[in-house]
Amino acid sequence: MDRPRLAHPLAILLGLGGSSPALAQCLVTSFDTREVGGPTFLTDVDADGEWAVLGGVGGPALLLERTLDGWQPAGSLPGCSSLLDSLAVAIEGSRAVAGAGEEDGGAGWLSGMVCVYERDASGWRQVQAIVPSDAGPEQAFGAAVALDGETLVVGAPHALAHFGDGDAALYVFELRAGVWVEVQTVQAVSWSTGFGRTLALDGDVLVAGDVGASPGGAAVVFERVAGVFVETARLTSPGLLPYSRFGAWLDVDAGRIVAGTSGTTAPPTIGAVHVFERPGGVWTETHTLRPSDAVLGASFGGVALDGARILAAGHTGIYAFDESGGTWTERWKLESPGDELGVAVALGTQAGFAVAEWERVHVVDLGIEATGTLCSDARARLEAGGCESVQADALALEASPVASGEAGLLLLGTARTRRPFGDGVLCIDAPLRGPLAVADAAGRLRFELDLDSLAGGALQAGSTWLFQALFRAPSTGGAGFDLSEARWVTLVP
Half-sphere exposure of 227 (CA within 13 A, CB side): 5
Domain ranges of the chain: 9-365, 371-490
Cβ–Cβ < 8 Å for 45, 53 = yes
Q: What pairing do the DSSP bridges indicate for beta strands 327-335 and 360-365?
A: unpaired
Please determine whether the domains at 9-365 and 371-490 fall in the same fold group of CATH. no
The SS3 call for residue 347 is: strand
Q: Cα(344)–Cα(354) distance, rounded to whole angstroms?
A: 6
Domain 9-365 superfamily per CATH: Integrin alpha, N-terminal (2.130.10.130)
Residues 109-127 pLDDT 10s: 777 889 999 999 999 999 9
Q: Cα(98)–Cα(116) distance, rounded to whole angstroms?
A: 7
CB neighbours of 446 closer than 8 A, spacing ≥ 6?
21, 396, 397, 398, 437, 440
- Under-70 pLDDT residues of the chain: 1-28, 79-84, 104-106, 159-167, 264-266, 297-299, 301, 335-343, 349-351, 356-358, 365-369, 476-477
CATH 2.60.40.10 fits 371-490, yes or no: yes
DSSP-assigned states of every residue in 269-301: ----EEEEE-GGGS-EEEEEE--TT--TT--EE
CB neighbours of 9 closer than 8 A, spacing ≥ 6?
27, 28, 29, 30, 391, 392
pLDDT of residue 81: 47
CA 350 → CA 70, 71, 245, 472, 479, distances in Å?
12, 11, 29, 36, 42
pLDDT of residue 395: 85
pLDDT of residue 357: 59
pLDDT of residue 343: 67
- Hey, which residues does 432 pair with through a beta bridge? 412
DSSP-assigned states of every residue in 257-268: EEEEB---BTTB
Q: What pairing do the DSSP bridges indicate for beta strands 218-225 and 273-277?
A: unpaired
Half-sphere exposure of 156 (CA within 13 A, CB side): 35
pLDDT of residue 162: 43
CB neighbours of 213 closer than 8 A, spacing ≥ 6?
190, 191, 192, 194, 195, 236, 247
pTM over 0.95: no
